[in-house]
Structure 1
């Protein structure tokens, strides 16, 4: 068993090699997390059944005082490390594939959701604004995010809810040794408006704008609506407010990352006045 230390997950992760040389991904967590991890494993089984390229779920169970899940192993490289070595068209094509994969993931309906999305997300917005107001570190133009959110809350009405990967961006993707895109790390799964899942696209856009553009074109079949763009700014704004509070406990490096990202968001959206970001470009393929 070889420990894997990359990533933000609290799970203990290992490359486990069987007696026959077969590699597996083994994740171990405290028994108190049994119920959530069992649901996570079952949802991954549903996702895998759709043909999504990923670590295939093999076994879930308990051993002594811990819970474990066993998955197939992916031999390859992190997508964020490899993507910039590809020509523009190929980056975009990988993005198209990522968008089409996400659409498959979103075909799984939300389970037992009784509250409207408008009420659910407004509650999250209120919590994020409160955390930001209490945070000792502020963005230079942080109030603009709050103004945009409060002026556009009505956009949350009548949105359906589905299963979310929970952290869908280039940092949670791999390109395997055969050149295929693979999706990893479902441990932040949740349920909500399919469009909210794009709130992490800022990470992809910072690393590879054409890849990020392809995600949207692949998901929306090259027809991204203005309604989507306007609501996406609200989701990104809410996420950006909460990010600075999260970063405080991780030190200056993470604070700088979030401050730089907020600056990028302002630049992409012309201080939130233009709903379509400057990084978005379509390519005819």
Structure 2
């Protein structure tokens, strides 16, 4: 299938990805998602496409990889089109029971994705993530804008770094939260946007649960419980608090180039995270509803 043969091509403006995204239609009316990246990303995007094929082979409900190659504009990836709605838009119209049930499903899907092992050549997680921590702490210290009580995040990280030792690694979606999910017209949860995929500690994948918990504590609780079959280890909560602390301190330097609105979003989010964790004194966040 040539990407030049499509009858219609409509650009999609949503999302933070650097890719250009289009809804394209063939002459017989079949829709696809077309993503185009810069040619410099050829190797990265080739690996991403191959890993999506591995995930699809597991039976994960997702945008299915169809074709990959280069074109005049750069690197293209053609994926199946999901007829449905953004899960974020639907979530708050669901009952409490439904929100929790979809959370369980999202956790089980994630557990499935994590059965893909990291390559043997992968650098030891403790070494790699500690390097990331150092960079993020320095970015925060150099940042002209600080959080109220932001030092709590740094203190928590430094106290709990030892938990990074000997952590296993696997394939990660890289941005797993309600904003990267859809509900198809059969009511089935679908996972989209694998463009931040990586290899790392499976538990680090939960660092984006902040976005899900802000929308629906029941969904976020279900996701954790579904992943762990309702047996959540305390070390998970301790490590998750470390990963969320690490993310939060780097969010404010990240937001500055995008302007005041994004800065305010991150300041408010940091305030909410500190409330959830009692200023990082309690590793189990207050949004967690236990087993329902």
TM-score relative to the length of structure 2: 0.96
- Structure 2 distance, partners of 1:113, 1:90, is 41
Answer yes or no: is 1:187 the counterpart of 2:195: yes
Which of 113, 128, 135 is the matching residue for 1:105? 113
CA RMSD of aligned residues (A): 0.9
TM alignment of 1:44-193, pairs within 5 A: 44-193=52-201
Residue 283 of structure 1, CA deviation: 4.7
The CA distance in 2 between the partners of 1:272 and 1:131, in whole Å, is 20
- Residue correspondence of structure 1 range 4-23 to structure 2 within 5 A: 4-23=12-31
Contact 1:169 1:204 in 2 (8 A): yes
CA contact (8 A) 1:169 1:201 kept: yes
Cα distance in 2 for partners of 1:255, 1:38 equals: 34
Shift of 1:67: 1.2
CA distance in structure 2 between the partners assigned to 1:251 and 1:194 by the alignment: 32
Quick one: distance in 2 between partners of 1:113 and 1:146? Answer: 30
SS at match of 2:182: strand
Normalising by structure 1, what TM-score? 0.98
**Is the 1:92–1:283 contact (alpha carbons within 8 Å) kept by the matching residues of 2?**
no
CA distance in 1, matches of 2:183, 2:73: 35
Secondary structure of 1:3 counterpart: strand
C-alpha distance in structure 1 between counterparts of 2:15 and 2:226, whole Å: 27
1:8-47 aligned within 5 A: 8-47=16-55
Which segment is superposed worse, 59-68 or 129-138?
A: 59-68
User: 1:86 Cα deviation (Å)?
Assistant: 0.5
For 2:284, the equivalent position in structure 1 comes to: 276
Q: 1:204 aligns with which of 194, 207, 212?
A: 212
Q: CA deviation at 1:112?
A: 4.1
| Uncovered stretches (5+) of structure 1, i.e. residues with no partner | none
Q: Distance in 2 between matches of 1:185 and 1:75?
A: 15
- Describe the SS at the equivalent of 2:92: helix
**Is the 1:79–1:171 contact (alpha carbons within 8 Å) kept by the matching residues of 2?**
yes
User: Which residue of 2 is the match for residue 228 of structure 1?
Assistant: 236
**Residues in 1 aligned to 2:291 and 2:89: alpha-carbon distance in whole angstroms:** 22
Indicate if the aligned counterparts of 2:36 and 2:73 stay in contact, CA closer than 8 A: no
Matched-pair contact (CA < 8 Å) for 1:89–1:283:
no
Q: Do the aligned partners of 1:92 and 1:214 also contact (CA within 8 Å) in 2?
A: yes
Instruction: Tell me, in whole angstroms, the C-alpha distance in 2 between the residues paired with 1:96 and 1:206.
Output: 17
- Work out whether residues 176 and 208 of structure 2, in 8 Å CA contact, stay in contact via their aligned partners in 1: yes
